[in-house]
Amino acid sequence: MEPLVPWTTMAAMALAALVMVLTPGPNMVYLISRTVSQEPRAGLISLAGTAAGFLVYLTAANLGLAMIFVLVPWLYIGLKAVGVAYLLFLAWSALRPGGAGMFEQRALAPDPALRLFRVGLITNLLNPKVAVMYLALIPQFIDPRAGSAMTQGFVLGGVQILVSLSVNAVIVLAAGSIARLLTARPAWTRWQRRITGGLLGLVAVFLAREVPHAAKV
């Protein structure tokens, strides 16, 4: 019996999710900063909050959030504008003189588990990459002729969540070692900041270009 969502479609979804998660964004910055400043356990608790955010998006998108954004487009525009502003802030924080890269040690006070989870959740809910993923990208993989669009949406969203959590878990567990390596090589740290800031800026510009288009929809 053929699955509702073909294996080839799920593989394509997994590849798209991999590209998205490997592009630096608010989730990655927060997870790494908490791991480096506190411990891997803190990063994994924050990742659990990120997972909860994915589930919120997954459920809302499949229950008609996309239709709400079509009927009230300023909500979608506002969400993207906030996300773009946040990404630009992160890019400037990395590129400005004296700025810090994702893997640099920071003097941050340890957060309790509940706060780690809550901030991970909120960071993901305000992440424009996730909004784009669930409201614009995943629907392109759904075939209405294959059966329930809602079921397909949950399956494809599940693939995205699995890929994202797996990659982020690896990043969290490796963050400490990477931080120590960069600390011993200051030149590498500077290039890491430049690359991270540049990528964040490019993502912000790409998303900003989509805001006028969303206003016309």
Residue 5: how many other CB atoms lie within 10 Å: 22
pLDDT per residue over 152-162, tens digit each? Answer: 889 999 999 99
156: Cα within 13 Å, side-chain hemisphere = 30
Give the total number of structural domains in the chain. 1
Mean pLDDT of 114-137: 84
Measure the N-to-C terminal CA separation of the chain; round to a whole number of Å. Answer: 39
C-alpha–C-alpha distance, residues 44 and 112, integer Å:
13
Place 49 in a pLDDT band, splitting at 50, 70 and 90: very high
Distances (CA, A) of 164 to 2, 15, 89, 122: 26, 11, 23, 17
Give the pLDDT band of residue 215 (cuts 50, 70, 90): very low
User: Is residue 1 situated within a structural domain?
Assistant: no
Residue 107 above 60 pLDDT? no
In a domain, residue 144? The reply is yes
pLDDT digits (tens, 9 = 90+) for 187-196: 555 665 666 6
Q: Is residue 6 part of a domain?
A: no
Asked if pLDDT for residue 131 goes beyond 90, the answer is: no
**Does the reported pTM lie above 0.85?**
no
In a domain, 18, yes or no: no
Q: Which domain holds residue 63?
A: 26-216
In a domain, 82, yes or no: yes
Looking at per-residue pLDDT, the higher value among 102 and 123 belongs to 123
CA distance 48 to 214: 31
* Block residue for tokens 């206003």: 215
53 falls within a domain = yes
- Residue 2 forms part of a structural domain: no
Q: Is residue 72 part of a domain?
A: yes
User: Which band of pLDDT confidence, cut at 50, 70 and 90, is reported for residue 214?
Assistant: very low
User: Residue 200 above 80 pLDDT?
Assistant: no
